[in-house]
């Protein structure tokens, strides 16, 4: 079982789109996947067809009330397992301020999934994908302390290189808390191949970070933006779209990285 956090402090770069559609694509490739929403915005929750205002248990109950991850799992209309989030998660930083283990609550909760819930033999999932909020708040730190690797969605614009350098430093610092932590890969999102600047930045990313860049570029594709409004991953919404095909290719790259 591999745990992957989808993170970038920058907002609106395609984290949630990547989390939902990578999960759906892995599931389509017959992998057992769990998606955990760690953002009070609850976008990943809505994007899989769940009503974020009508949930019995969410990640908030796990982190603040000691409910087990196992209990909080819901089957989403998208067809795979989800641990949902909504606005209730927003006050967590303040609620937990001063509590010494506040950065490892998720890691502790994850222990019951890492060993199988029934007999401790087979692990229940091949991949756990976590969608983080656009900040380095306590929730994101919990994700980074728990995860094996990080996938960073990145838009090819002028500040991308600086942003990536900053983020790598942050991740480097957090290896103190999680020695396994590494950048599994950087995925170019919202990519417009007709845009000269995007191509230049993309080439720069390859030159400086070549070994961690995924080959798959996720194109700017209207179907990817429309699918969440229907509570569907794009694969269910329009399988033949460029966006759906790109996320299938990304999933193949992610699987290839697995030991
Ligand atoms: N490849 C794409 N093509 C077209 N639209 C996209 C694509 N990726 C994301 N979007 C749209 O761009 C917006 C931001 O994407 P998304 O919500 O995935 O980013 P995010 O990084 O999760 O944002 P936040 O930082 O707020 O959590 C959304 O409206 C989404 O539908
Ligand atoms: Mg998001």
Q: Which residues line ligand 1 (CB under 6 A)?
A: 11-17, 39, 41, 43, 134, 189-190, 218, 220-221, 224-225, 228, 243
How far apart are alpha carbons 145 and 87 in whole angstroms?
A: 23
pLDDT in tens, 114-157: 765 555 555 789 999 999 999 989 999 999 999 999 999 999 99
Tally of CB atoms within 10 A around 169: 10
Residue 6 φ then ψ, to 5°? -100, 110
Over its C-alpha atoms, the chain yields an Rg (Å, rounded) of: 17
Report the DSSP pairing between strands 33-38 and 127-132. parallel
Tell how far CA 238 is from the center of its chain.
22
How far apart are alpha carbons 18 and 224 in whole angstroms?
A: 10
Tell how far CA 255 is from the center of its chain.
15
pLDDT in tens, 31-59: 999 999 999 999 999 999 999 999 999 99
pLDDT of residue 185: 97
**What domain count does the chain have?**
1
CATH of the domain at 82: 3.40.50.300
Mutate to test the pocket of ligand 1, among 5, 11, 17, 242 (most ligand atoms within 8 A of CB): 17
Q: Which atom of ligand 1 is nearest to the CA of 189?
A: 1
| Cα 139 to ligand 2 centre (Å) | 13
Domain that holds residue 230: 2-257
């Amino acid at each position: 079982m591999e745990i992957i956090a989808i993170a970038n402090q920058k907002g609106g770069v395609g984290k949630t789109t990547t989390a939902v559609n990578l999960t759906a694509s892995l599931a389509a490739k017959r992998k057992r996947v769990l998606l955990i929403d760690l953002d009070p915005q609850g976008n990943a929750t809505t994007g899989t067809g769940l009503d974020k205002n009508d949930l019995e248990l969410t990640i908030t109950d796990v982190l603040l009330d000691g409910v087990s991850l196992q209990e909080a799992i819901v089957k989403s209309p998208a067809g795979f397992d989800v641990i949902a989030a909504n606005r209730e998660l927003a006050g967590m930083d303040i609620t937990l301020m001063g509590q010494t283990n506040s950065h490892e609550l998720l890691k502790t909760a994850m222990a019951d999934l890492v060993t199988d819930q029934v007999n401790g033999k087979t692990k229940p999932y091949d991949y756990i994908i976590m969608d983080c909020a656009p900040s380095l708040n306590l929730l994101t730190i919990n994700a980074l302390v728990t995860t094996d690797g990080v996938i960073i969605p990145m838009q090819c614009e002028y500040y991308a290189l600086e942003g990536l350098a900053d983020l790598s430093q942050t991740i480097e610092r957090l290896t103190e808390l999680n020695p396994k932590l590494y950048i599994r890969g950087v995925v170019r999102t919202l990519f417009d191949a007709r845009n000269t600047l995007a191509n230049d930045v993309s080439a720069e990313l390859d030159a400086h970070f070549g070994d961690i860049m995924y080959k798959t570029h996720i194109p700017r594709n209207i179907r990817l933006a429309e699918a969440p409004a229907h509570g569907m991953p794009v694969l269910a919404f329009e399988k033949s779209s460029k966006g759906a095909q790109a996320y299938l290719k990304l999933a193949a790259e992610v699987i290839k990285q697995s030991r």
